[in-house]
Each structure stands twice: as C-alpha cells, then as structure tokens.
Amino acid sequence: MVNMKARKFFMGIDGGGTKTIGAVVDHEGIERARRTTSATNPNVVGLETTGDRLVELARKVCEDAGCSPAEIRGAVIGLAGGGTEEVNQFLLRRLRLEFGSSFPAQIETDARVALEGALDGGPGIVVIAGTGSVIIAKPPQGDVFIVGGWGRLFGDEGSGFYLGTQAVRAFSRLVDGLIESPVMSRLIAERLGWTTRDQLITAVYGEKIELSTLAPLVFELASMHEPIAIDILRRGVSALVELIQCARTRVNMSPVRAATIGGLIDTSTVYRELLVAALHEADPSIEVSMPVRSAVEGALMLALKGDSGEEKEQP
C-alpha cells in the first residue's frame, strides 16, 4: 500500500495577459498534469478575477494529477502584473483561504520564472520583447536583477508598443509631408484605412488602438525593404542592446548566454536577426540563444528547488 502522507507534488504556474498555464510534477520531477486557462494578469483582469482563476486552475490541475492541494509541497506562480507586495499578499491570502493556511505558494513575476526556464536554472541574461520589454539577469553569484521593464509610459524600449508608437509617428510625418514613403502610405491605407490626419487621431485617441498590434506591419514593411520601417526596427534593436549591455556588465562571466523570449524575438523574425547581429558586433562574448525550457517549467524548477532547499530532478 502506498503511504499517502509520503507523496509529494509540486506546482508551477505561468500567468499572463492572454493565457495561464499550470502544471504539476511529482517529487522526481515527472509531469503529472498540465492545464491552460485564460488571462490572470491583475492589471488586465483585476485582482479578484486573478485570484478566482488561480484557485480554479490550481484545483483542476491537482485533480488531473490525481493529488490534492494538501499534497503540494511547493507552488511557484509567475505572474505578469505580479511582484508587488499588495498583489502578492492578496493572492496568497486567497489561495490559503481556499487550500489551507500552510499552502506553500510563492508569487514571482512572469519574468523571473521565464528566466529560470530559459537558462535551465543557470546564470545569464533573458531578453523579453513582446507587447512590453524587460531584461532580467542572473549572475553566477548574487541576486537576480532587472534592467528596464518600466512600462510603456517611460520604458518598454524595443517592445511591440515601442515599434507601434514609432509607426504612428512616422505616419503622422507622412501626412504632414515631412517624409515620403509611397509603400508605407499604401500599406497603411490598405490595412488600417488611414489616409488623413483625422483618421489617425480618431484611431489613436478616440478608439485607443493597441499600438503594439502595429508591430507586424512594421515587420512586413521592413521585409519589403522600406527604409523608414527598417530604421524603426534598428532603433528598437539599439534600445534593447543598450539595456542588454547594462545587464551584461553586472553578470561577471564570459561568455554569457542571452536567451530571447517574447512574440517579437522568440522565432526567427527580421527583428531577432537584427538584434543578434547588433549584439555580436557590440560584444561577441554574448551568445544569443532560444530558451531551453518554458516559463511554466521554470516555475516548476523553482518549486522543486524550494523544497527544504534541496535540488530535485528537473521537470
């Protein structure tokens, strides 16, 4: 007969602004269940909804794994929009109200769990560029730290929001006659219906278009060798390289691995190619790579490591 008290399970959750993935592994790091639900970024859906969805996901993924929440010995939740004391404490209270006061949950940022997975638990740098941007790094000795990640009002350099903002600025200059680009004017008219000042103002200030959604249009124009679009991408890359080099000076190792994550650079896009080339020129000791593991696997790795401080088999 199996001693139920001896069973140990570990949970990892990667919560984002679009979807949330939860997984459970056993004490040997073998995955027992994985489940996906909708957004849990509190800045997008609100704290109450975030708490409800995390509780439901935790309950369901435990059911799928054939365990109870009481058998979870470590749970790490990487959360977009998390990391502040107020958010963390609210969600921990919500989870422990549901699963008991000893439920071993830990709230981290989504960047932190992405770092752990992307570098397979080792030191290095992770470059995240999607809707927003942030650089997170882990020295061989010392604490994990962040460069950038200040949000769209005064940060998010090189992000989708940055590229979209530069695209609408370029279009405003086209309308004013300060620059010329028949290719850009035609494509914007075809895809967005913008040909006049009033249409741009209405879209940006009235309809509040999500500017990050314009990044693919910039990519497409760049693939057509449109100089303005290529310049926008190069300026975005330059901004990211500045942040990466800042992080690199604090990661005292050579060579240093830099994994790329996020919708703009997690596949072989023209933007990623420009970034790789610029980093190689700036510092050949920076080795750019794809992530080794996913963010939810990074959360599981942190949960396993946190059990009595012991290293476990990786998921």
Domain CATH for 44: 3.30.420.40
CB 161: neighbour CB atoms within 10 A?
A: 23
pLDDT at residue number 69: 92
Confirm whether 310 is domain-assigned: no
Q: Are residues 68 and 85 in the same domain?
A: yes
H/E element, 76: strand 72-79
Give residue-wise pLDDT tens across range 286-311: 999 999 999 999 999 999 987 544 44
211/299 same-domain check: no
Domain assignment present for residue 277? The answer is: yes
Percentage of residues in the chain having pLDDT higher than 90: 78
Q: Mean of the per-residue pLDDT values for the chain?
A: 91
In whole angstroms, what is the distance from residue 198 CA to residue 28 CA? Answer: 61
Across 23-29, average pLDDT:
92
- Give the pLDDT of residue 307: 55
Is the same domain home to 16 and 130?
A: no
Same domain, 62 and 149: no
Q: For 10-24, what is the mean pLDDT?
A: 92
The verdict on 109 and 54 lying in the same domain is: yes
Query: What is the model's pLDDT at position 4?
Result: 47
pLDDT 10s digits, 111-147: 899 999 999 999 999 999 988 899 999 999 889 999 9
- Tens of pLDDT, residue by residue over 154-201, are 878 999 999 999 999 999 999 999 999 999 999 999 999 999 999 999
> In this predicted structure, what is the pLDDT of residue 122?
93
Examine the domain organization and report whether 106 and 128 are in the same domain. Answer: no
Residue 56 domain-assigned (yes or no): yes
Global confidence as pTM: 0.82
Number of domains in the chain: 2
Phi, psi of 266 (to 5 degrees): -90, 0
Q: Looking at this protein, which amino acid is placed at residue 156?
A: D
Report the SS3 class of residue 259. Answer: strand
Cα–Cα–Cα angle for 261, 265, 268, nearest 5°?
Answer: 125
Residue burial 65-85, b: 16+ Cβ < 10 Å; e: rest? bebebebbbbbbbbbbbbbee
Domain that holds residue 84: 4-116+295-305
On whether both 110 and 200 belong to a single domain, the answer is no
Do the beta carbons of residue 296 and residue 23 sit within 8 Å?
A: yes
Q: Report strand pairing: 31-38 vs 19-26.
A: antiparallel
pLDDT at 173: 96
